[in-house]
Structure 1
Amino acid sequence: MMTPAATALGIHLRVLVEDSSSSAAQVVVDAPVGSASDEEAILALVEGADVLTFEHEHVPNALLDRLVAAGVAVRPDAAALVHAQDKIVMRSHLDAIGVPIPRWRPLTAREELDDFLAQVGGAAVVKTARGGYDGKGVRVVRASHEVADWLDAMASGAGVPLLVEEKVPFTRELAVLVARRPSGEVRTWPVVESVQQDGVCAEVVAPAPDLHAGTQAEALEVATRIAEGLGVTGVLAVEMFEVPAPDGGDPRVLVNELAMRPHNSGHWTLDGAVTSQFEQHLRAVLDLPLGDTSPLATWTVMANVLGSSLPDPTDALAEVVGRDPQAKVHLYGKQVRPGRKLGHVNVSGTDLADVRARARAAAALLRGERNG
């Protein structure tokens, strides 16, 4: 999805792909095959390049540090990226810079979890510090035996570090996309509402409807403080919980997760904003002036295509665009698997109920649901 913006700006992309049939390899001409942990492959990738950036966080920090020492511009660098890789590091630093987050603690023993559960009222969320995404590596627990396997694996050295945090009684989930370039310029897009399905983002509404002015201001300020406080370069997605204020004022936000890359919560910007998150990421990592982030319509709704009963979602393409010529379909060229993100649909307009219904109907057809 970064390719059209790169082409328009005259930027040459070279992308390291894990498989020659992957989504990126289908659209990027210069796409060598290799693993993100393969030092030789990455050294070949960056030869002659102006900058190295990422579309996921699973890159060894030590390798990135060696690249920086060799003079490669790595953006974001390892010191910033670790906050998206390790939830314990992230939460510790967010605490240090005064960002509101749920109560939490690192977890090493069942007794610690039992004590924390008693403090927070009997239910908590246990997470793996590294590697979890889209609902993976997350368990809601009410007793320590529910994560005994994780604790035993960690104690034996076979598992990853764990943390526990309070189960927040949130009213909805919000997200803020912010872009920052090395010279310090920062821009944010409107606060959006994200709707989850089995731990996976199913829908995004831009801007978040019925958002209180104070909540919006806090969300944008918090996202900017994180980008500047962690030294982020490129696009940063800050996922948040909206929670009721104890004094009855505007709802507050608590930060849940960070992603230092273009993110699913920002896919609406491809068709709904003056500058998409993909173009902005390129501008940011190359230290070019950042683009306007204003929305192009009153509302834009993004609906994800999560799995399909069709052998290929493009089988429904003629019907989707025939029914709604204004719907913008983005398919990723992935093999169909249950629940897999195969693409998304963006619909914009002035009536939120209509826009949402049309986006959902288009995504349903691509999933093979005939009554969508």
Structure 2
Amino acid sequence: MTTPTPLRAEGGFPVVGIVGGGQLARMCQPPAVALSVTLSVLAESETASAALVVPHSPVGEHTDLEALREWARHCDVVTFDHEHVPQEVLTALAADGVNLHPGPEALVFAQDKLAMRRRLTELGIPCPRWARARDAADVEAFAAEVGWPVVAKTPRGGYDGKGVRVCRSVAELDDWLAAVGEPGSLEDGVLLEEAVDFTRELAALVARSPSGQAAAWPIVHTVQSGGINTEVLAPAPGLDEQVAVAAAEGALRIAGALGVTGVLAVELFEVRDGETGAPAYLVNELAMRPHNSGHWTIEGSVTSQFEQHLRAVLDLPLGDPSARDRWTVMANVLGGDDEDLYPTYRHLMARDPGLKIHLYGKGVRPGRKLGHVTVFGAGEDEASLEDLRERARHAADYLQGVVRE
């Protein structure tokens, strides 16, 4: 890693360091500029998404303790674009006095799904039935309890559907079980969960500061395709009010109990209570950073998740998370066959002047998240929401080359 030039923030404004140069770090730059906060990004490469827009973006590995130590010397606070910094590295930085938000004692629950399930169960947070499996007998015993299929997850390293299998027999896990006990993502075993019969997927997004102030955005409906979030509807249409309140309160309780600082995304399943049939929710996974389910907040809420994350990690008073309009729809843009995206702007901007386009400066690769589009409106009825969804889908499809008109 090249040693960065020491930063000096004018006017007493702080320097916020972000480990990882992905699109989440990139989208923190506009609110940082508005707040006169200097960002410094430890990027994976000179062409990383955030490195293209953040002037101070030295290249370094998130596993290299000495590189992190040298870079962190110039930062007032350090936060994260992803959850992959090893615990031993985080612990060493904390011992050095680096101001980490969230800290290692919180991040472990986003890094290790087994640890997350144990802790949420202790807190009484509603979760799918689960177990740890170290051999075939453990899998058979769990399947006998909950029925096939079962959902198997690697406790560490999975994202966007990677590290997840829906299994109908033990044989489908032979390779994972063979790796149990070996160094790596399966060292402690395989996480097994019941296959939840859910109505839809939701997300609760909250932020918490070191002093304990917290704020929650409206619960959203996240639409998945092939394990990737492709669309977000804010707020979740038709969501039972009691479920919305309970999910937001649950997310805030998780943030407080786990000591999360910054943004916390809680991925949820909407379900029906097995005894009463009433609407309910189960917690699927956690992410302790700005999250894809919150990209709608850039235009759709008074305070975006990116501004709020900066406020939270700096222990500034949090902003208003209220929605600006009745509906906001965000659609992700995935890579297609066309490498040049800029020529699509003329059509999209002329067709829909209210459309907001966000691209992340990434090279095009089929299936890769390249950006997102957002539309919003005030209509109360379902037709108004469907019109917004059609506008967002058309824009995303046009950018991807799926449609040409």
TM-score, normalized by length of structure 1?
A: 0.98
Question: Which segment drifts farther, 39-48 or 118-127?
Answer: 39-48
Which of 201, 224, 228 is the matching residue for 2:256? 228
Contact 1:347/1:355 (CA < 8 Å) preserved in 2? Answer: yes
1:364 aligned onto 2:397: yes
Contact 1:316/1:365 (CA < 8 Å) preserved in 2? Answer: yes
Q: CA deviation at 1:312?
A: 2.4
1:124 aligned onto 2:157: no
Which of 139, 143, 155 is the matching residue for 2:169? 143
Question: Which segment drifts farther, 150-159 or 83-92?
Answer: 150-159
Q: CA deviation at 1:155?
A: 4.6
Q: Percent identity?
A: 55
Structure 1 Cα separation of the partners of residues 134 and 277 of structure 2: 38
Secondary structure of the structure 2 residue equivalent to 1:52: strand
Q: CA 1:157–1:287 in 2, change beyond 3 Å: closer, same or farther?
A: closer
Contact 1:239/1:258 (CA < 8 Å) preserved in 2? Answer: yes
Q: CA 1:251–1:343 in 2, change beyond 3 Å: closer, same or farther?
A: same
Secondary structure of the structure 2 residue equivalent to 1:58: coil
Q: CA deviation at 1:249?
A: 5.3
Structure 1 residue identity aligned to 2:302: V
Match of 1:316 in 2: 344
1:3 aligned onto 2:36: no
Match of 2:329 in 1: 301
Q: CA deviation at 1:159?
A: 5.5
Match of 2:82 in 1: 56
Match of 2:233 in 1: 205
Which of 80, 83, 91 is the matching residue for 1:65? 91
Which of 254, 260, 277 is the matching residue for 2:288? 260
Contact 2:157/2:185 (CA < 8 Å) preserved in 1? Answer: no
Match of 1:274 in 2: 302
Q: CA deviation at 1:371?
A: 4.8
1:340 aligned onto 2:368: yes
Runs of 4+ in structure 1 displaced over 4 angstroms? 155-159
Which of 353, 357, 361 is the matching residue for 1:325? 353
Q: CA deviation at 1:370?
A: 2.2
TM-score, normalized by length of structure 2?
A: 0.90
Question: Which segment drifts farther, 151-160 or 38-47?
Answer: 151-160
CA RMSD of aligned residues (A): 1.2
Q: CA deviation at 1:156?
A: 4.9
Q: CA deviation at 1:154?
A: 2.0
Instruction: Encode CA deviations 1:155-211: one digit per residue, 9 max, x unaligned.
Output: 555662311010000000000100000000000000000000000000000000000
Match of 2:21 in 1: none
Secondary structure of the structure 1 residue equivalent to 2:178: helix
Question: Which segment drifts farther, 155-164 or 187-196?
Answer: 155-164
Structure 2 Cα separation of the partners of residues 275 and 69 of structure 1: 33
Structure 2 regions of 5+ residues with no counterpart? Answer: 1-26, 379-383
Structure 2 residue identity aligned to 1:281: H
1:193 aligned onto 2:226: no
Contact 1:212/1:250 (CA < 8 Å) preserved in 2? Answer: no
Q: CA 1:337–1:185 in 2, change beyond 3 Å: closer, same or farther?
A: same
Structure 1 regions of 5+ residues with no counterpart? Answer: none
